[in-house]
Each structure stands twice: as C-alpha cells, then as structure tokens.
Amino acid sequence: MTLRSVRAALRAMEGLDAELVVVDNDSGDGSFERITQAVADEGLPVRVIQSGWNGGFGAGNNVGIRAGMADGTLPDLVYLLNSDAFPEPDAIRVLSEFLAAHPSAGIAGSRIVGEDGAPHWTAFRFPSAASELEGSARFGPLTRLLTNHKVPLGVPEAPRRVDWLAGASMMIRREVLDRVGLFDEVYFLYFEETDLCRRAAQAGFETHYVPQSRAMHIGSASTGMGRWARVPGFWLDSRWHYFTKHHGRARAMLATGAHLLGGMLWRVRCALQRRARMDPPHFLRDLVIHDLKAMLRPLPGRDAPQRRDDDVHV
C-alpha cells in the first residue's frame, strides 16, 4: 500500500521542484527493507528513512520534515501524505498554487474521498466543551442550538477557511513550522493535526480546505479505528493532552463532564427507542476513569522536559 501511495505521489509531483521522502516508523515487519528494495529495483527518486522508533503519526512526520532536501536545503513547503492515501495527478500542485495565491494561509488540505468515491469529513472546528456535549448527545434540537460549536464542517464544495484539517493530504508552509515548531510528539495518534493547526492559528496563520485538490484515502488502514472493540488508551491520552494543553485542567474536565452528560442522554434515547449505541463498549466509563486519573496526577514540575513541539524547529 505504501508503494502504491509512493507511485501516486510521484505522478502528482511531475513538473514540481520537489522530493519525496518515505519514513518507516520502525514497523519491524520487514516493510523498510521491502520498500527500500522496491525503490531501488524500480529506480524511483525516493529517499526511504528509518525513524528508529515508533513515536506515532506526528513523530514520524517530524522525521521526514527534518530530513529536508537531499542537498541539505530546506523546502518552502512541506506536503504530508498518509501511506494509505493516493493524491490525484494535480493534487499537490493545486495546494502549492493555493498557498502561493493566499499569503495569509499557512496550511492547506485536500478533499478526501474513499475508495467508493464518497467524500470524507476532513474539515473541522476546534473542539470545546460545547462541541463535546453536542457530539455525544446526537440530539437534533441540541445540535441546532450549538450549531456554531459542531466540530465537523461537512464537505465544503468551495475553498474555505477552517479551524483544522485531517492530515492525510496536507501542505504546510515552512514559515509556519519555523514559527510554531513541528508536531507535538506527546500525541501518539489523533489530535496532533488539531494541535498543529491551533498553534498555527495562534501565530496568525490560516488553515484552508481546498476541494480542487483531491486524494483517495483508505480510512483507518493503519489504526483500525473502525474495528475498535474498545477505545485505546492512546486516543484518550491524546484527547486529554489537547484539552489540558490549550484550555487547562479545569476546562478539560468540563469538556469531559459535557461529553458524559451528552453520552448519558444518548444512552437513554437508545434504550427508549431500541437503537444501537454506536460507541465502542465501555467508552464513557473508560473516558471518565482515564480523565479522573489524569486530573489527579501532579502537574509537571519546573524541571520536567518541555513538550517536543517547543524545541523542534525546521
């Protein structure tokens, strides 16, 4: 699948002054060797890098970003592509032209579709306590009341400014990374794009959804999210880290309480209307127990290491 993504990316890079780097995030299953051999056998203009450890999505991307160009120079733009995503032939060029034409935009992302051509929701507002209540309650009147707090923005048909984008096919100005740092490596998976886009917004850079750039994405091929029997700890860790980092512990617990309230209302409706709950088993219990334990942990002291996004710059 990664090699298929590589070939699609190379087609989309034709005519651009660009280089392709593949980062093997210490997969340990022979992928690094197989990809390296295939690149050599086919004579593909690709650098394959072994990260040395699996630090997650953000850490793996940071390895590729730090690699820069083969001659040691730094690119003006960094394009991120999931190993289970396949850009259309003009997808990368469209994003680069959009950023060139919109100086206030620091991040731009593609329209993402599935294998069946159905569009994915990849444009979002930043999460908040209100959005946690709306998203977990799944109740029409409440959604209408909190419409300006709803995280998903649907599938915009025209370019528009958004709070954050999914990172399956995303382009970032180097200036953004120079100013705010790379991905925060405390996140193993999930919320790392949300965090980066929020830091970019705080530094004055806009994030834009550009539907003229298209990529096909096989969703959750790496994480298996659609098959979760139970929400993994790394998702809970990432959610808690995002809320405490940007809102503090008290508001993080408020967000958890809002999610609990909405989730309980949803479960009452499910019981009365005999609906399927949709959430993974024990989700609310796992969420509350995780966040209560995190809340009771002492705050990091002065001598604790800083977050990785604070000291990692291009």
Which residues 6+ apart lie within 8 Å of 178 measured at CB? Answer: 313, 314
Fold of 2-13+72-120+155-226: Spore Coat Polysaccharide Biosynthesis Protein SpsA; Chain A (3.90.550)
What is residue 119's DSSP assignment? B
Going from N- to C-terminal start, the domains of the chain cover 2-13+72-120+155-226, 227-301
270 near 277, Cβ under 8 Å?
yes
| Interatomic CA distance for residues 152 and 146, integer angstroms | 12
pLDDT in tens, 106-144: 999 999 999 999 999 999 999 999 999 999 999 999 999
Answer yes or no: is pLDDT of 16 > 70: yes
Residue 5 pLDDT: 97
pLDDT band at 274 (very low <50, low <70, confident <90, very high): confident
pTM here is 0.92
Residue 284 backbone zone (phi > 0: left; psi -120 to 50: alpha; other: beta)? alpha
**Coil, strand or helix: which one is 205?**
coil
| Cα–Cα distance, 271 to 117 (Å, whole number) | 35
Where helices occur in the chain by DSSP H, the ranges are: 2-12, 31-42, 57-67, 91-101, 129-137, 140-145, 174-180, 192-202, 233-273, 283-296, 308-311
- H or E segment and range at residue 16: none
* Residue range 182-228, pLDDT digits in tens: 999 999 999 999 999 999 999 999 999 999 999 999 975 455 555 56
Per-residue CA distances from 204 to 106, 109, 162, 179 (Å): 9, 18, 13, 10
Residues 40-69 have a mean pLDDT of 96
